[in-house]
Amino acid sequence: MSQTMSPKPEVSMPVLWYPGGERNQQPHAAVITAINPFSVCVHVLSRDLKNYMIQDGCRHMDDKEARPAERAEKGGWDYPDWLKRCLPSPQLAVAGCDNRKEEKKAG
């Protein structure tokens, strides 16, 4: 995936989690708690804020590489609108999560 399209999610970042990975579902507040090479782990808050659910392997809503079964099981995450407005470029608010470390070029 293009690195120019993907803002780097960070641990403790607030996000929205969509059940079933469907934007027509009401999102839940969530927090990123771990970063994986192609996905994140999110702690999804219950509506009453008394409980949470852990979703590991959750991919960004615009990640074209997410499989439908994976999306249905894990849901999908996205940045809240207020955070998108804070990003320096609209392109940074779009795309999947590719957190692989950049390979060092021999020089």
Report residue 103 as tokens: 């390979």
Q: Quickly tell me which residue has 């027509």 as its tokens.
A: 24
Structural domain containing residue 31: 14-93
Question: What distance in Å separates the CA atoms of residue 34 and residue 56, rounded to the nearest whole number?
Answer: 8
Q: Does residue 21 sit within a domain?
A: yes
Residue 77: the pLDDT is 95
Q: Does residue 7 sit within a domain?
A: no
Residue 37, CB half-sphere, CA atoms under 13 Å: how many? Answer: 4
Residue 84: the pLDDT is 79
Q: Does residue 107 sit within a domain?
A: no
Residue 92: the pLDDT is 52
Question: What distance in Å separates the CA atoms of residue 93 and residue 89, rounded to the nearest whole number?
Answer: 7
Q: Are 56 and 90 in contact (CB under 8 A)?
A: no
pTM: predicted TM-score of the whole model, two decimal places: 0.75
Q: How many domains does the chain have?
A: 1
Closest C-alpha to 54, from 36, 38, 32: 32
Q: Does residue 105 sit within a domain?
A: no
Strand partners, 82: none
Q: Does residue 106 sit within a domain?
A: no
pLDDT tens for the chain, 107 residues: list them: 333 344 678 999 999 999 999 999 999 999 999 999 889 999 999 988 899 999 999 999 989 899 999 999 999 999 998 887 777 664 554 444 445 454 444 44
Q: Does residue 1 sit within a domain?
A: no
Q: Does residue 100 sit within a domain?
A: no
Written as one letter, the residue type at 54 is I
